[in-house]
A and B are shown apart, each in its own frame.
Chain A
Amino acid sequence: MTFAHDLRSAGTAEPPPTARRTPTAAWRGLVLLAAAVALWLLPMVLDTRSVSLLSRFMLFGLAALGLDLLWGRAGLLSLGHAALFGLGCYTSGLVLTRTTWAANDLVAVLAGIAVPAAFGFFAGLVLFKGRIKGVYFGIVTLLFALLFEQLAGTWGSLTGGFNGLVVPGGITIGPLDLEMPSDMYRVVLVVSILGYLVVRWFASSPLGRAIEASRMNDLRAEALGYDVAVVRAITLGAAGALAGLAGALYAPVEGFIYPNQLGLVASTSFIVWVAIGGRGTLIGAFVGAVIVNGVQSRLSDRFQEYWPLLIGCFLLVVILFEPGGVAGSSRRLVAAVGSVRSRFRARS
């Protein structure tokens, strides 16, 4: 359920809808705008290394957004989301390194979106028409991750094998030469915000509602006329497009891609980020990825060893005590502040 839905339905349940809705929406818009401006200005105060780290984390967040669409909204837990991300990485990396077209940077990004999206949609169509769901979907996606990782490792002549593929840093879009880490950071920031807004719009459309309906009760959805297999395949395609977009930009940001990025460990990381951020909330997936990666990068080397243990315990705590994740608890906090404020107003 998106926030927009909540607002709309709350509005119809309570008599004075406009009086209540406007200030909150305005506040939210203002806060988001301030955050965007602050993030835009961030490279002026941060060192270069932190700026490029933050770009990477936001790209993970963008890809995690795709997993949230799939897992949170459609209820399909993919254990191989990194395969789609990595497919975007390699597609864009290969276009950037192996071709000499004039506009190859733009082509690299577009191909990096299109290839994983098409793969997701068509693989999904085959799987979902074959009535694969639940645990079996998880297992199949796990196999995809292992297969792609293996393929990227062994097909050395194309992918650079286990040594990875070195990609020139930065991209050029038309007249804009974006080579500095701070330039790439701003590209990533704008793409992330646009990506998030598009996902929000998509998720609140009738199609987004059909996606959720097919999670809650697929027989009912089918009986109402929906082709659940196609609806699910579209979701997997959209998840592929987002992961691919993130991966396509990750290649020039990081400058180096390697087979592990398509594998199982990377895939489980995406799941952890979405769970901690708040499954099904969309913004939570993005925030979760940035926060978890941010914390990890700040830890000293000594703690890095214990990191999987730490994050595992933290995940357990989230699942047991706050299944809504970061997004869920901050939403509750905002609601609590709002109710205190209105009580205070009523008294004065």
Chain B
Amino acid sequence: MLEVDQVTKRYGGIVAIDRVSLRVEEGEIRCLVGPNGAGKTTLFNVLAGSTKPSSGSIRLRGRDVTGLAPRRMSRLGVARKFQSPSVFDEFTVRDNLEVAVDGKRPVRHLLRHDRRADESVEDLVDELGLADHLGVKAGHLSHGQRQWLEIGMVLANEPQLLLLDEPTAGMTRDETTSTEALLRRVARGRRLTMIVIEHDIGFVRALGDRITVLHKGQVLVEGSAEQIEGNPEVRRVYLGGS
């Protein structure tokens, strides 16, 4: 599905990610962990097209997509949930989801409402648990609900590869659990491939098929949850010093 080959991103003298290689299979849920400044978000920026890599290549289903703009990546089925909830605050939940459904339609078709959009929105809000909030402005939702709404917008965009940057950041224990259930449900139902940046180790253990640990811009180690947790290198990186 996704092949990242020797991707490096430099900002002046600082190397944010350094020769990162990654293979994610179709339908896999990959978790990306690592201390602050490890380069996780930079890697997402490169994958979503917001940042051009300094070197290296990215292939999506065998097609070279290195350095394409975000909207092109979106049209190729790569959707991204940003780190802090990034929804349209003055829009209602319904409008947020509809604007997401319409994102991939050509501009010249945008003067007409698409009836199918309404139906997919109805289905989505049930899945998200926001059915009672369709008419509520996104700015009035709780933090957790805004996170779900953005996940919903990203899903409405009909992606094949989902990039989730800390989907449970700032959530309560209960909200984290339902987010976990939501993601597992959609991944199975839609046969999505996901890459998730997450700090919550319980969440990672429950959701991730495989885990990649980034440290100082490089891939430190990759493996299953048990392998990662037993790895002395990982412990050293997380628990102290460098």
Contacts and interface: CB of A to CB of B under 8 A. Distances in A.
Nearest to B134: A12
B199 interface: no
A233 to B, nearest CB: 10
Contacts, number: 103
A212 B91 contact: yes
B5 interface: no
A11 B134 CA distance: 10
B126 to A, nearest CB: 14
A205 B110 contact: yes
B111 A205 contact: yes
B209 interface: no
A56 B62 CA distance: 62
A9 B94 CA distance: 8
Given A206-B98, A217-B88, A227 B107 contact: yes
A227 B74 CA distance: 11
Interface in B51-69: 69
Contacts of B107: 207, 227, 230-231, 234
Contacts of B134: 9, 12-13
Q: Chain B: interface residue count, which band?
A: 35 or more
A14 B136 CA distance: 11
Contacts of B95: 5, 9, 209
Given A11-B135, A206-B99, A224-B99, A213 B91 contact: yes
Contacts of B136: 13
A204 to B, nearest CB: 9
Given A9-B135, A220-B82, A224-B157, A206 B113 contact: yes
Given A1-B90, A213-B91, A226-B71, A206 B79 contact: no
Main secondary structure of the interface of B (DSSP, over half): loop
A177 interface: no
Main secondary structure of the interface of A (DSSP, over half): helix
B87 interface: yes
Contacts of A221: 99, 103
A216 B89 contact: yes
Nearest to A234: B107
B70 A210 contact: no
B90 A225 contact: no
B100 interface: yes
Nearest to A231: B107
Which residue, of A206, A226, A231, has the highest number of chain B Cβ atoms within 10 A?
A: A206
Interface string A222-262: 11111110110010000000000000000000000000000
B135 A12 contact: yes
B162 interface: no
A210 B110 contact: yes
B111 A206 contact: yes
Interface string A8-27: 11111110000000000000
B28 interface: no
Contact of A225 (B74, B82, B86, B135): B74
Contacts of A9: 92, 94-95, 134-135
Interface in B132-153: 134-136, 153
A219 interface: yes
Contact of B75 (A207, A217, A225, A228): A225
Nearest to B109: A206
A202 interface: yes
A224 B74 contact: yes
Contact of B70 (A217, A223, A230, A231): A223
B106 to A, nearest CB: 10
A111 B111 CA distance: 24
A206 B112 contact: yes
A12 B105 CA distance: 25
Interface in A183-221: 202, 205-207, 209-210, 212-213, 216-217, 219-221
Interface string B96-122: 001110111101001111100100000
Contact of B80 (A14, A205, A223): A223
Nearest to A230: B107
A10 B82 CA distance: 29
Interface in A1-46: 1, 5, 8-14
B48 interface: yes
Contacts of B117: 206
Which 9 residue pairs of A and B lie closest in terms of their CB atoms, listed nearest first?
A13-B135, A224-B103, A225-B103, A9-B135, A207-B110, A225-B74, A9-B92, A225-B104, A206-B102
24 contacts: A9-B94, A9-B95, A10-B135, A13-B135, A205-B113, A206-B98, A206-B110, A206-B111, A207-B110, A209-B98, A209-B102, A210-B102, A210-B110, A216-B88, A216-B89, A216-B91, A217-B86, A223-B70, A224-B99, A224-B100, A224-B104, A225-B104, A227-B107, A228-B71
Given A205-B110, A207-B110, A219-B82, 17 more contacts: A1-B91, A9-B95, A12-B94, A206-B99, A206-B110, A206-B111, A212-B88, A212-B90, A212-B91, A220-B88, A222-B69, A223-B71, A223-B79, A223-B80, A223-B82, A225-B157, A228-B71
